[in-house]
Every structure is written in structure tokens, then in C-alpha cells.
Amino acid sequence: MTQVPEVKLNDGRAIPQLGFGVFKVDPAETERIVTDALEIGYRHIDTARIYGNESGVGRALAASGVPRDELFVTTKLWNDDQGTQSAFDAFDRSLDQLGLDEVDLYLIHWPAPARDRYVDSWRALEAIRESGRARSIGVSNFLVPHLERLLAETSVVPAVDQIELHPAHQQPATVAFAREHGIAIEAWGPLGQGKYPLLELPEVTAAAEAHGKTPAQVVIRWHLQRGNIVFPKSNRRERMAENFDVFDFALDEVEMAAITALEREGRVSAHPDEVE
């Protein structure tokens, strides 16, 4: 069985550095796809209320027979549910959909600054963590100003910030701020969501050829060696297996530097200040 490295969080807990994400996984297919992922060996699943597939994730987890303490499950508070009571209610609905008594990680999905509710929402997440029903709490798509405000106005430092991050969009300012404050970085869209032609760039394909691996494996390896937590998504079992088979090689310094030099401000999704 592949041993996935763990990243230690600032609350003393640990998270498997490689997991499986289910954004845009059809709710009707989620149980089958997450079952495939668990059979391959993934133990960390990243979902969200807005994905509409928490119940399929929950059914796959329940049917798998994998002991609960070997699983790491993340879900997220959607923008419409930001606030205090609305966050408590949304969290209850997520637990219910997942069929779990607690999640490992609960995140505020977007700062949605025009709503001006992320500080209230964070206080609700602090209370949820206190209750033991979310073992860790964090944020997603928070940039430095959003993180600064949380740190100034609340008491728990987020365990993670889950941001769009891949070689063409590395968000150095957010990453540096997070590292300075002990906030682990989760990289969403680690492969550029297939929108940015990362897997065709010569820096990536040359490293893939040199190691007898695929371009996707090279990019995942780059993330792992940078210390990022990743959960690439695929509906296809052979690609899920490919994306998990990244622990038998390492990129050398020259290969790492060549891929790091691919930074292009190549954001594939909306700017966090614009998502409401």
C-alpha cells in the first residue's frame, strides 16, 4: 500500500499531502468514482456543498469499509451560507449529506468580500471546531488582505488556505504570507484544470521523459516537492491511478527550477474578490 506523506497542520493534526478532489464530478457518478479512488488508495477526499455530491462521497466512504480514522474528509461553506447561524445550519446539512459525525477539515469556500461576512463565518467555524465536529478549520481563495483581517479580528489561525495554484499561477505573495503564519497551502486546480496547456510545456514533458513518467505525474510531483497539498481530479480510473503513482521518483533541482520558472499569472478561474 502506497504511503502518502502527511503535512502537519498548525493545530497539531496531520493531513495526507495527496488526495482526490470531486469538483465537477457528476452527483450520479460520485459514489462509483470515489469508490474507485478509495480502491486505488486515496484516503483524502475534497468536496464542497456547492459541488452537490457530498451524499455520493458519503455513500462511497460508508461502503468502502475503510476505518474512519484512516480517512480525511474536507467540505466547504458556500457563499450563500456565510454568516453565523446560516453557517451552523449549512455545516449540519453537510454532515448529514456526508453521513458523518465530523469532518476532518471545514473551509470557508470564498471570501466573497462584498458580502462582508467572512469574519462572522469564521467565528462560526471556530465554534464548530470547538464542538469537535470539524477537527480542523481553514479558508479557501483567501488572499493576503482577507487573511490579515481574519488574523486581526479572530483568535484561531486557519489551518490551511486552499487556493488556485499550479506552475503557471503560483501566488507567491499569498504563499509567503501563509507560510509565515503557519497556514498550510492546498493547491486547487493543480493541473491547471486542463484549461492551461501545462502538460504540453517542454519543461514538463522533458522531465516526464527523463523519469519515464507522465506530464501530469511530473506536475503533481512538483507540487509535493514544493510542500503543497494537492487533490487532482479525474473521472477516469486509469488517470486516478496515474495521479497517485508519484512516489517512486523525484525531480532534481534543475527540473524543479525550470517548472517553477513557468509562472505566467495564468489564473484559470475568477479573481477571489469577484466571486460572490
- Contact footprint for ligand NAD (CB under 6 A): 21-23, 46, 109, 140-141, 162, 188-194, 199, 216, 231-234, 239, 242-243
Distance CA 153, CA 57 (A): 34
Which residue among 42, 51, 106, 118 is the active-site one?
Answer: 51
- First CA to last CA distance, the chain: 42
* Nearest distance, CB of residue 43 and ligand NAD, angstroms: 15
Tell me, what DSSP letter sits at residue 114? G
Decide if 106 is catalytic: no
Q: Which is nearer to ligand NAD, 48 or 65 (CB)?
A: 48
| Cα distance between residue 251 and residue 256, in whole Å | 6
Nearest approach in angstroms of CB 67 to ligand NAD is 23
Closest contact distance (angstroms) between CB of 138 and ligand NAD is: 10
**DSSP code, position 21:** E
Nearer to ligand NAD (CB atom), residue 156 or residue 198: 198
Rg of the chain over all Cα atoms, to the nearest angstrom: 18
| Residue, CB closest to ligand NAD | 21
Using the 8-state DSSP alphabet, how is residue 79 labeled?
G
Q: How far is the CB of 128 from ligand NAD (least distance, A)?
A: 18
- For 265, the grid coordinates are 499569472
Q: Which is nearer to ligand NAD, 95 or 230 (CB)?
A: 230
Among all residues, which ones are annotated catalytic?
A: 51
